[in-house]
Each structure stands twice: as structure tokens, then as C-alpha cells.
Structure 1
Amino acid sequence: MTSMTAPKTAAPTKGQVPPGRKRSTVARRLIPYGYLTPTVLLIVVLMVVPIVMVISYSFRDNVIIQDNSVFAGFANYTKVLTDPDFLAALKNTAIFITVSTVAHLVLGLAFAMMLNTQLLGGVAKAIFRIVYILPWLFTIAVIAVIWRLLLDPSGVINYVLHTLGVIQHGVDFLGDPGKALWAVTFVNIWSGYPFFMISLLAGLQGIPGELYEAAAVDGTNWWQRFVHVTLPQLRPVIISMAVLDLIWTSQQFALIWMMTGGGPLNSTEMLSTFTYKQAFSEYEFATASAAAVIVLLLTMILAFFYVRQQRER
């Protein structure tokens, strides 16, 4: 009887990786990219492709009918940058985002310190937290409708001011070009400060108590402890929140559109409402695309400083 012997496989030489192990190593390296693929596809389809299309539209004319569109160069950008309505919108947006961000910071820090103080009990803090966070619970549509009713000439605010003797006649806060911008800015401040308050409250609770004890031992008062202990410890949070708020506020559209629509007389016209009107009211998609690209560039500048600050942290 002959014995059957299995063929011997050649042993891998020194430094040579077996084929099976090599395939498994490549597969393990490709697994993370497989997990990222759906997200990358969504970003490309929903973000990259639209941005590229808008940029291409901004350099063309007659973009509604693709067959008749022609290359216009920087003509659309020149038209937008010399448009008085765009310049007014740029000015209003600068005022709107600056005042809103500063007020969000001041109010948020004041309320956060109030909620972090040891002078209030647990029940009182819980009640104040509920009251202070209420504006953040409403959607923009609800906020716009409520404040339009409150600011109406025959609304509650005019009634209270008239009762107190501050005014003699009803004031149209949203219909007066001199007051409309400040009215919508106030509403935006009211609806946005809770986010600052919560973030700064978390930062305050993360400051070690030993720092305040050491400062008290050195004989400092509450203002010196606030300036030399609280603010330096909150600096990273404050800078991050301020840059984020600048970006978010510059893109505010729903509140402005539902309260004033950019009026009266363009007194509350923002870059977002100007771009929307160019595209869907005047059907000037080329100039709307140019305005959108300008807004994108301004936002990217703010985003650059935010990312840089985060890397420094």
C-alpha cells in the first residue's frame, strides 16, 4: 500500500508577508474608509456640489436657461458690490451681528454667574434656569409671531408703555425705519442668550474653587476675582462662543423674513434676505449666486479664526 503524503508548501522567506495576512491587513486598513463613505457621499452631494454650482452660476449670465447662459466674468460681483441695497444689507448685518453677539455675551455671563452663585438655593436656581432657558425652547417661527403681536401698535408692549406714561401714542416698532432694526436685534438677543448662558455656566462650574480661595487669601475683592480669575478661565469658552455666534447670526434669515421681510425701506435688509430676494423675487439667479459666494467668503473668514482658536486650545 502506498502512503499518500500532502504536498508541502514553501515556507515564507524571512521578511516576506504571507498572502492571507497581507489581504487581511489591507482589509483592516480599508474598514475606516468604508464607515466614512456614506458621510462623505452625503457631504459631496448636499454641500460640495451645490457650492460648486453656485460658484459657477456667479460667473455666468442667463443661468435659468442653461443653453443660453454665457460667461460674464466678474460682472455679477461688480453689480452686487455696487448695489445700494447690498451695501445697506451689509451695514445692517454688521450692526445686527455685532450688537447681538455682545449682548448675548453680556447677558449670558450675567445670568450664568447668577445661577452659579451660592446665594441662591437649589429650588430657586432650578426655577430661574427654567425661566431663563424658555426663549431657547421656542422655534424661530413661534418667536417671530409672538414678537410681532407684542410689538404691534396695539400690542402688549405699547399698552404697558402707554400705561406707564412713557408714550402717548402707539409706536409701530416694526414699521418705523428708525426702530425696526433695533427691534429685530432685540428679539434675536432675547432668543439667543440662553445658549451663551448654558455654555458659560458649564465653564464657571469647571473653574477650581481653590483659585478663588487663593485670591481671597490675597485680599482681593469680588471684582478683582472676576477680572483675574473668572475671565481668564472663561477666555477659551468666550472666544469660541463669540465666533460661533458671529457665524450663526450672520446667517439669520427666518426671524428677519417672518418679522419684517427686510423692510421697511430696507432698514432690516440682511445679506441673507437680500440673496433670497434676488433669487426668488427678482429671479436674478446669477447676482444671487454672486451675493451667496460673497457671504460664503465672509463666513469662511470667521470659520478660519474659529478653527485656528480651537487648534491653539
Structure 2
Amino acid sequence: MTATLTPEVKEEHRPEEPPSSRVRLRRLWDRLTPYGFLSPTLVLLIILMVTPIVMVIGYSLMDRVITAPESNFVGFENYMQVLTDPAFANAVGNTIYFAGISVVAHFVLGIAFALMLNSPILGHKTKAIFRTVYILPWLFTIAIVAVLWRMLLSPNGIVNYLVETLGFSAGSVEWLSDPSLALPAVTFINIWSGYPFFMVSLLAGLQGISRDLYEAATIDRAGPIKQFLHVTIPQLKPIIISMALLDFIWTTQQFALIWMTTGGGPIDRTEMVSTYTYKLAFSTYDFSVASAAAVVVLVLSMVLAFFYVRHQKSRD
């Protein structure tokens, strides 16, 4: 006896018909729609970011670009000239000092002010006043900060007046012209203008820590110092690492503050990698070597950015 398939079974085993052209077009449109929304941003990134980077990399491998009718391919000769230049080594050392001290001081001042503003001892009006005062340096542009502190630190400025009045010095101090004081002076200015970034971020992190953790630590007889070390710092650790990496990247690329206060002087004591590259390009008009220095800075920044992105992914 042979078995016959029922109409229902035949319907189930019937092969599916291929989608019509209208359905395929609709699916293609749905897939391309997100890229259509992203296309303006992608075009701007290619024009304003990718294209200049490619051009600078190309310039760094050539000789006498822009200043000569013809340029020759020299390979990595410009990179060797930059990396063996004592002025570049000096600029790297000053940049590391400038950025390292600034980041540490930003964290110390930021966590101190954030703890004070988060303390229940202060009233709401007092906290509002202190928040306004402490965040003021962050509201000024770099140009205003540079001009302000050049006036304050000038030989006839208020800082020298206070120093002489209090008896710390018998005469005016050349804060921005003395080779031994210029680098600490610009570092102090950068610390003053940048600590509110840490303060605001850490204050937001402190307000997000559960009070239950502190109550549990109090039950375990942990004092304020132990609570700070074993509760506050571990809870703020992801924020601290992220901000430290970002602040270090931004500080190593600081140009306007240095250029408008000391110009990299005196005697290259405040020369940074950014001002070193700028002088190569627009003082000596050696755009090839300046491009090589810019590429070196780009590579170092990408390394720092890699660690930042890696930390963000592990945090997520």
C-alpha cells in the first residue's frame, strides 16, 4: 500500500518563492538608511581629519615641501632628524614634566574640593557659592588665562607686590623670564585653569556612591581615612583613570597657554612638543621636519588613546 501526501503536507514542503524586486529594494533601503544619516559626519571627518593626516604623513616622507617647486622622497630621514635633535628631546622632557605635574595636581585639588563640596557640614547656599568660585577658572578661555597671569606675574604685578610686602623677596621676581622659574610658573597656571574639570567629575562620582557603603564601613569601625581609602577611592577608580588619561592627552597637546605666556622660552626652558613643531613649520619654514614631528606626536597620542579606549571597554 502506498501512502499519499495530504494537501497540508504538500503545502508545508513547497519551496519558498524568491522575494520580489520591490521587497529586495526595500531591504536594501533599510540597510543603507543608517549610513545615509552618518554620511554627512563621515564626509566631514574625511575632509577635515583623514585628508590632513594623510597629507602630513606624505609631507614627512618628502624633502622641501611647500617651500620648493619640487620635492624628493627621503623616506624616514626627517624622522631620524627629529628623534636625534636635542631640542626635541628637551621638548619631550618639558612636556612630560608639564603634563605629569598638572595631572597629579589636578587630581589632588579636584578630589579635595569635591569632598568639601560633597560634605554635609556645608549648607546649600555655602556650597553654591563655593561651586561658583571654584569653577570660575574653567569658564575662562586659554587666551584670557594667559593674559591674566602674564599681568599678575609681571615685574609690576600683584604677585610681586605680595611677595615683596610679605618679605619673601627683596626685589621683583621674573616669574616668566627666569629660566629656573618659567616652567614651574606655566605649570602652575595650567593647574589653576584645569582643576575644575576633575572637581566637577569627581563631585558627580561622589554623589553617585551609595551611603549604605559608608554606613557599613562605620559599623565595621572604619574611620574617615579608611573610608576614603577603601570605599571612596575604589568607587571612583574608573572615573579617576578615565580623567587622568584624558587630561594627560589634552595637556601634552597644550599650545596656546605656552605660546601666549613664554613662547617656549626663555632659552627653551618651556619648549613643548607643540611649540617645537610650530616653530619648525612657521619660524624656520621646514615643513617636512615639522610634519615628521607632528606624526610622532600623533603616534604617541594614539597610544594614549588606545589605553583610554581599552579602559572604557573594560569598564563597560
- Note whether the superposition's TM-score is higher than 0.5: yes
- Percent identity of paired positions between Structure 1 and Structure 2: 60
The answer for the alignment partner of 2:35 in structure 1 is: 33
Counterparts of 2:313 and 2:99 in 1: how far apart (Å)?
25
CA distance in 1, matches of 2:200, 2:304: 22
What is aligned with 1:225? 227
CA distance in 2, matches of 1:271, 1:19: 59
In 2: Cα distance, 1:291 partner to 1:180 partner = 24
Q: Which runs of 5+ in 1 are unaligned?
A: 1-11
Secondary structure of the residue that 1:171 maps to in structure 2?
A: coil
What letter matches 2:95 in structure 1? T
1:168-183 to structure 2, matched below 5 A, reads 168-183=170-185
Report the equivalent of 1:5: none
SS in 1 for 2:81: helix
Letter in 1 for 2:231: V
Runs of 4+ in 1 over 6 A off after TM superposition: none
Distance 1:41 1:234 in 2: 38
Match runs of 1:264-275 below 5 Å: 264-275=266-277
Deviation (angstroms), 1:68: 1.3
Cα offset, 1:19, TM superposition: 2.2
Q: Distance in 1 between matches of 2:117 and 2:17?
A: 65
Q: CA deviation at 1:16?
A: 2.1
- Counterparts of 2:154 and 2:67 in 1: how far apart (Å)? 43
Measure how far apart 1:101 and its partner are: 0.4
- The residue aligned with 1:216 is 218
C-alpha deviations, 1:32-53, integer Å up to 9, x for none? 0001111001000101110011
Q: Distance in 1 between the 2:67 and 2:170 partners?
A: 56
Counterpart position of 1:293: 295
Partner residue, 1:234 = 236
Select 1:132's aligned residue among 126, 131, 134.
134
Correspondence for 1:141 = 143
**1:13 to partner: Cα distance:** 6.3
Q: Look up the SS of the partner of 1:68 in the other structure.
A: coil
Cα distance between partner residues in 2 of 1:136 and 1:77: 37
Find the aligned partners of 2:177 and 2:301 in 1 and give their Cα distance: 30
Aligned partners of 1:22, 1:78: CA distance in 2, in Å?
Answer: 56
Post-superposition CA distance 1:175-231 (Å, at most 9, x none): 001000000000000000001100000000000010000000111000000000000
Quick check: 1:159 aligned with 2:157?
Answer: no
The CA distance in 2 between the partners of 1:25 and 1:73, in whole Å, is 48
Report SS of the residue matched to 1:296. helix
Q: What is the TM-score of this pair, normalised by structure 2?
A: 0.94
Question: Equivalent of 1:191, from 181, 190, 193?
Answer: 193
1:88-110 CA deviation, whole Å, 9 max, x = no partner?
11110010000000000110011
Q: Which amino acid aligns with 1:202?
A: A
Aligned match of 2:117: 115
Letter in 1 for 2:174: D
1:158 alignment partner AA: N
Deviation at 1:14, TM superposition (A): 1.9
Match of 2:61 in 1: 59
Give distance in 1, aligned partners of 2:220 and 2:44.
Answer: 57
Distance 1:25 1:176 in 2: 69
Instruction: Report the Cα distance in structure 2 between the residues aligned to 1:126 and 1:120, rounded to whole angstroms.
Output: 10
* RMSD of aligned Cα (Å): 1.1
Give the length in aligned residue pairs.
Answer: 302
Q: Which runs of 5+ in 2 are unaligned?
A: 1-13
Cα pair 2:67 2:285 within 8 Å, conserved: no
Output the CA distance in 2 between the equivalents of 1:243 and 1:164.
39
